[in-house]
């Protein structure tokens, strides 16, 4: 089953009031099947964040279309679009975006509260996802009372608690140390094994090595894609090789993380 289909996506900024036009994306097409874990990589300014913004409904494409769970999102506006976003998408941000005035448990429950899910169902769902992500013990605490890694796992729990069709992660490990990054990626991999469909933008080859497939964006175009096999070390090396071809520098510390 295809969850996401992006067809000939293009995005142009500017070009009005005498301002020069900038082609951020050009003719990008790809699809995701249910249960896939796909990464998007590329140099700074390559268009990967623009691509994620189009898929997440934050921005609209200049050309092409995005279909998520059989729904053409370009046809949705206003409350229809907001409702679709709440029900079908889950978001994990680099900055966690938790509310400091709510406990971890209340933060995770937010999508269910907004969706008016019955309390018994809500508490059961929150307990299940917290257990899956290893944060059951911190549920009564507030975000400022737990570590960055625990905050990000809480953000991941909030993203999946309402069973969205697609989870979108934007540099989810960007503010985490190496141990917390590994813990989060192990958690996301576990969710993926339970059939969660994840699309993730990252600049980190180690983080990307947890994916099943990587799409590389360069100068606004789909440059190439690679598929993981049974050997994660070999896949990690493939990622490094492609990044080198794209002109990115990879530190020795990065190379030795696996």
pTM: 0.91
Name the helix (H) or strand (E) containing 222.
strand 221-227
Residue 59: partners with Cβ closer than 8 Å, 6 or more residues away: 11, 50, 53
List, for residues 45-72, the tens digit of each pLDDT value: 899 999 999 999 999 999 999 999 999 9
Beta strands (DSSP E) in 21-163 are 22-33, 37-41, 63-68, 71-72, 89-92
Mind spelling out the 3-state secondary structure of 145-194? HCCHHHHHHHHHHHHHCCCCCEEEEECCCCCCCHHHHHHHHHHHHHHHHC
Report the C-alpha gap between 107 and 158 in whole angstroms: 7
Residue 257 has pLDDT above 80, yes or no: no
Name the band, by pLDDT with cuts 50, 70 and 90, for residue 247: confident
Q: What is the mean pLDDT of residues 225-245?
A: 93
Q: Is 114 helix (H, G, I), strand (E, B) or coil?
A: helix
Domains of the chain, each with CATH number or no CATH: 32-61+75-255 (3.40.50.300)
């Amino acid at each position: 089953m295809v969850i996401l289909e992006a067809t000939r996506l293009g995005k142009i900024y500017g070009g009005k009031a005498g301002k020069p036009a900038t082609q951020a994306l050009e003719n990008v097409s790809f699809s995701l099947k249910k249960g896939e874990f796909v990464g998007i990589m590329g140099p700074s300014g390559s268009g990967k964040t623009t691509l994620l913004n189009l898929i997440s409904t934050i921005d609209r494409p200049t050309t092409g279309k995005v279909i998520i769970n059989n729904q053409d999102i370009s046809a949705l506006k206003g409350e229809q679009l907001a409702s679709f976003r709440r029900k079908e998408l889950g978001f994990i941000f680099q900055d966690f975006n938790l509310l400091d005035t709510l406990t971890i448990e209340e933060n995770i429950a937010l999508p269910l509260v907004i969706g008016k899910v019955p309390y018994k169902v809500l508490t059961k769902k929150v307990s299940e996802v917290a257990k899956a992500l290893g944060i059951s013990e911190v549920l009564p605490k507030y975000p400022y009372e737990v570590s960055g890694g625990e905050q990000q796992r809480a953000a991941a729990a909030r993203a999946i608690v309402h069973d969205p069709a697609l989870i979108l992660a934007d540099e989810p490990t960007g503010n985490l140390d190496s141990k917390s990054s590994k813990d989060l990626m192990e958690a996301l991999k576990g969710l993926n094994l339970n059939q969660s469909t994840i699309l993730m933008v990252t600049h980190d080859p180690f983080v990307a090595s947890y994916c099943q497939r990587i799409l590389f964006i360069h100068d606004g175009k789909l440059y190439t894609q690679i598929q993981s096999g049974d050997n994660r070390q070999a896949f990690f090396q493939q990622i490094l090789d492609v990044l080198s071809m794209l002109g990115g520098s990879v530190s020795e510390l990065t190379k030795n993380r696996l």
